[in-house]
Structure 1
Amino acid sequence: MESGRKGRIVFLFCGVLLWACAIVYVLFSLQVRHKAMYQTLAQNQYSFERSFEGPRGLILDSKGQILAGNKDVVSAFITPRSLADKQRTLAFLRQHFPQAAQKFKEHEKKCFMYIKRTLSDSEIKLVESHPDSGILLIKEPGRLYPVEATRNVIGFVSIDNDGLSGIEKIYNAELKGCPSFVRAERDGRVGSIFFNKETLVGGSCGKSVQLTINSDIQYAVYDLVKETVENAQALEGAAMVVDPTTGGIIAMVQYPVCDPECATFDPTHTKNICVTDAYERGSIIKPFCALAALDEGVVDENTIIDCFNTRETYLYHTRISTVIPLGKVPLRDVIGFSNNMGMVQLGHALGERLWEAYKKYGFTSKTGLEVLGEQQGYMTPLKLWTRPTPLSLSFGYEISITLAQLVRGFCLFARDGEPVDLHICVNSEKNMHHEPVVKHKKSIDLMRSFLQYTVEKGAAKRAGLKGYTVMGKTGTARLAVPGGYDPKKHVLSFGGIVEKGSYKRVIVVFIKEPKALSASGSNTAAPLFRSIVQFLVTYDRVLPVV
């Protein structure tokens, strides 16, 4: 009996001892081993830190008009752990937001879950009309683009207001600014009463970016390009307007453009085809071949070139065809009526010098525009030349260039052979002065007269505008496809200059794959060029010569 009592006492003592050891261990863990963790947990109950983004900077046109501004957008969310009726909420999601319903299960035990960011007006009304759905609305910073025609240049932002394309991405750091970091204390029980707010790091608002784009001209040119593309039932079109004196881009247009707010928008339209797409552009390259021939002394204004008065013949063991046959004519008529027989003779005489000239004119280098995805073009390298290569180069094949490279090339004729650095932002640091890439100014003067003759009496009559000096050249090229060239797919172009006194504008236009087989640079691209010129001189109040 006595031994049994002693056993119970020992057992009880051991139990108490173990209980005391457990308490000591727990206290040791709380006070020593996990001290830092519990201090942090305790501090977070009454102290927290948050970052706050300032308003994103504006993107302005040359006149200070807003091209990209700020607006509040509405997003929908739920708090899965505290839903009053999960089944009702899930049923609502399955019916109206099926994608959110699919991810509900993996977020079921979380405190927050987005249903959808940036709701449409109809979706906001839908959620508001079902207050028992458990879905809540919150306002977030968003972006507003009032000018549809500038979307290929401006780009757009993500749902978190970070730039994804265009100027929004290139200048994202400047536009976004720096966030502020704030520490505050709050009532640990209520959680919504704040005091002792302290700014740890002061942020800054985003800086505005001003472009050389004129939104009025951009919109008008966009409408003209859109009309031409739709009338020609073409795949797409583009145009650029440049002030050759400064290199500033006044308009950079394409159609169609993307609409990131549209659920079915085509992501291929997010690129800026003026700089991303390089094509063989056909006869529009001929003025540059002729410029090289004049500058190298291969021909002069009095040289008579035999074009054999035929639409097709063999020259230098290569079959050559042309649209307008000519006999023995001066270089002016070869350019004016775009005769391939005359051009290939210039290309053959120049040889490798033609390759060097095109390179010098900027057709194998980027323009440096502040635009994403710019291509540098392509020209058959000398080591890959075949016998027809210089002949092809003379009338715009075996050389692919972007619209931006083409407009920079035509600026040579407006600047006495001096290159210009193109830019689209007002504060871009560009070199305004370069050494001329043409040896003799007379070469430029002659080409200017030839291009004016082309518009007044040659194949580009539809580009002319009475009372102004208009120079230009058409281009019609078959589109390269795997295995050769498609006879039913064409790229149409026109590049030219309009002048009146000190007023100068360089314009290039481009239409891709019109359905009508009869469509050409002269009957489709040239009238588009003329319409743009007519708007420009009216808008800029440049009166014609009477």
Structure 2
Amino acid sequence: MTFVLSIFAGRLIQLQGLDSKVYAAEAAKQRVQGEKLTARRGSITDAAGHELALTREAREVYVDPSEVKPAMRDQMATFLATELGQPKQDIATKLAVPGSRYQKLASAVEPSVAGRIMQGASKLKFKGLGTRSRYVRDYPGGDLAGTLLGFVGDDGNGLSGLESTYDTLLAGRDGEQIIETGRAGQRIPMTRSTVKAPVEGRDVRLTIDRDIQWAAQQAIAEEVKATGARTGSVIVMDARDGRVYAMANAPELDLNDWRRTSPENWVNRAVTDVFEPGSTNKVITAAAALESGALRPDTAMRVPDNIRCADQVLRDSHPHPVERLTFSGVVATSSNVGTIMAAQKIGDQRLYEMMRRFGFGAKPGSGLYREEGGLLPDWRNWSGSQRCTIAYGQGVSVTALQTASVYQTIANGGVRVTPTIVAGTTDERGAFTQAAPAARTRVISERTARDVAGMLEAAVGAEGTGNLAAIDGYRVAGKTGTAMRYDAECRGYCGYTSTFVGFAPADAPRLVVLAVVQDPQKAHYGGEVAAPVFRKVMTFALKSQKIPPTATRPSASVPIRTGR
């Protein structure tokens, strides 16, 4: 007996003396539980405060299969399948998982539904069911500004769009609660409890106007469908300060069902897709020629329908005899040959530098997710034919936002304003803080901008290529663009990019609208494909912003043709 008791005594000394700290720490580890307190994600709203993305409270429904009696599984599966709207067999499988203590049945159930389930489970004496609070992201507009806003994953982190760009700001900081629990998971009374409160995410207010955004999405979606095109984009900007009122894409992304959409359609094509701008680029050539003094809007030019550049003969869009045009007429009729003749008067380096000043070859600076800067080759590396084609927008690549920014610069008297999409944010107390003013850069003189605007107004006139963009009662300035489209799939130029971009009112610009349609099948000229989209969106935006006609007429406008 003495020997046996000595063994017990030795063991007690080991447990309570030598190894006491180890066992105490192990016991505390099993007893002390930490629980993450998820921070509520901030909302994304339009300029008027309407919620485009918000966080709502929901419930996760789970089950502990070890507590579910085999005899109750069928009845329990039937009950849960009815309440959760799920196949009974799927639930029955989870209820019977051997050795499992946790199976998630639903992740985002309305609190009222979760409450009803727990009440029904109590009446039917089901064991093992439980719920826990969680937050889910909701997008009231469905696909409204879908690719612009982006979405969050199951872990609540932003995966694309503004949800990703402003993830840290929107997410806030999670908190933590530490409690002591017994073997069955119940809290032990009178024990320690530590709570670190979560910091809620901030709200982000955009410059987007949800009504204009909706109108832009409708217009571009209809045109893409009508022409059998691949994709399309529309941008609406304030000509004076670069605020973006709408940024629409077709197809657009339904944010409440993004998992069913191919990843290639998750991106905001208005800032990620690069393309050759075609004739919309002629305004830069015109601005360079006017700024240098090489030409004036009324300069008379004899324009044939073709011109040799190195080893190639480049042509206008249609055959014609030698035309007597003013430089303004060259832009209005979108003559490739006339534009090349103008570019030859100013030289490659000066044209390249003007494109750089307008923002080509660099990201626009909006900060949008995956924003691209296009491609502008150094003028020293231009090939013989490229020295001519770049003048009318082939051989250089841009995004839709870069192109819209060029016309914003012209509409704003030659001052480029960095495009802005975020109006401001809220702090922890909900106070609104306005975003810093966008950077402003003088690109061309006010006189040059005014002269180019007059040339663009002629392009929307009766003899111009953009006459389908005209709006009754308003003076409109704009330019068509029809460019051959490079396609990696066919490893060459396949199809066309059709564009129209302009501003109104032409004599006191307020709004800039760009419409671009990629690879239309039933027509391809920018004047017939993109100009009608511009007209629809601009008309709606002018009315929505309550911008009246200026009631003026073009004064001493330069004629398109000359008799000399």
TM-score (norm 2): 0.83
> Do the aligned partners of residues 290 and 108 (structure 1) sit closer, same or farther apart at CA in structure 2, a change above 3 Å counting?
farther
Shift of 1:377: 0.7
Question: Quick one: distance in 1 between partners of 2:130 and 2:296?
Answer: 77
Partner of 2:427: none
1:56 alignment partner, one of 41, 47, 56: 41
**Does the CA-based 8 Å contact 1:478-1:485 persist in structure 2?**
no
For residues 293 and 37 of structure 1, do their structure 2 counterparts lie closer, same or farther at Cα, with a shift above 3 Å needed? farther
Matched, 1:289 2:285: yes
The alignment status of 1:361 with 2:358, answered yes or no, reads: yes
Matching residue within 292, 299, 304 for 2:300? 304
Equivalent residue number for residue 545 of structure 2: 540
> 2: distance between equivalents of 1:393 and 1:97?
64
Q: Is the 8 A contact 1:85 1:134 kept in 2?
A: no
Give the number of the structure whose alpha-carbon radius of gyration is greater: 1
C-alpha contact (below 8 Å) 2:487/2:493 kept by paired residues: yes
How far apart are residue 37 of structure 1 and its match? 4.1
* Equivalent in the alignment of 2:484: 478
> Taking structure 1 as reference, are residues 316 and 85 closer, same or farther at Cα in structure 2, changes over 3 Å only?
same
**How many residue pairs were aligned?**
524
Per the alignment, residue 111 of structure 1 pairs with 101
Measure the CA separation in 1 of the matches of 2:471 and 2:412.
21
Report matched runs for 1:8-19 at 5 Å.
Answer: 17=3, 19=4
Paired residue for 1:70? 55
Q: Does 1:243 align with 2:238?
A: yes
**In structure 2, which of residues 497, 522, 527 is the aligned counterpart of residue 491 of structure 1?**
497
Question: 2:516 and 2:338 mapped to 1: Cα distance?
Answer: 25
Of 362, 378, 389, the residue aligned with 1:381 is 378
Question: Residues 501, 293 of structure 1: CA spacing in aligned structure 2 closer, same or farther, 3 A cutoff?
Answer: closer
| Deviation, structure 1 residue 267 | 1.8
AA of the residue aligned to 2:530: A
Q: CA deviation at 1:323?
A: 1.7
Q: Partners of 2:403 and 2:493 in 1: how far apart?
A: 23
Whether 2:12 is the aligned partner of 1:27: answer yes
- Coordinate RMSD, CA, aligned: 3.5
Deviation sequence 1:222-243 (CA, Å, 0-9, x none): 1111111111121111111111
Change in Cα spacing, 1:26 to 1:297, as seen in structure 2 (3 Å) is: farther
The match for 2:471 among 462, 465, 471 is: 465
Please name the residue that 2:222 is paired with.
227
1:423, 1:430 within 8 Å by CA — same for their partners in 2?
Answer: no
1:158 corresponding residue in structure 2: 153
Q: What letter matches 1:318 in structure 2?
A: Q
2:454 maps to 1:449: yes
CA deviation map 1:84-107 (0-9, x unaligned): 3399589999994999999999x8
Q: CA deviation at 1:543?
A: 2.7
- Structure 1 distance, partners of 2:446, 2:508, is 19
Amino acid at match of 2:466: A
Deviation string 1:379-417 (CA, Å, 9 cap, x unpaired) is 223353211112110111111101111111111111221
Mean alpha-carbon deviation: is it higher for 264-273 or for 252-261?
Answer: 252-261
Greater shift after overlay, 396-405 or 131-140? 131-140
User: Partner letter of residue 520 of structure 1?
Assistant: Y
CA contact (8 A) 1:465 1:534 kept: yes
- Alignment correspondent of 2:429: none
Number of the residue aligned with 2:336: 340
The structural deviation recorded for 1:433 is 5.3
Structure 1: where are the runs of 5+ without partners? 1-12
Q: What is residue 515 of structure 2 aligned with on the other side?
A: 509
Alignment partner of 2:254 out of 245, 256, 259:
259
> Retained in 2: the 8 A contact 1:236–1:512?
yes
For 1:425-466, what per-residue CA distance to the aligned partner results, in whole angstroms no more than 9, with x for missing partners?
Answer: 11375554534122x432212111000000123110001112
Conserved 8 A contact 1:182-1:197: no
Distance 1:366 1:84, change over 3 A: same
Structure 1 match to 2:392: 395
- Distance change in 2, residues 1:418/1:86 (3 Å): farther
Q: Does 1:43 align with 2:28?
A: yes
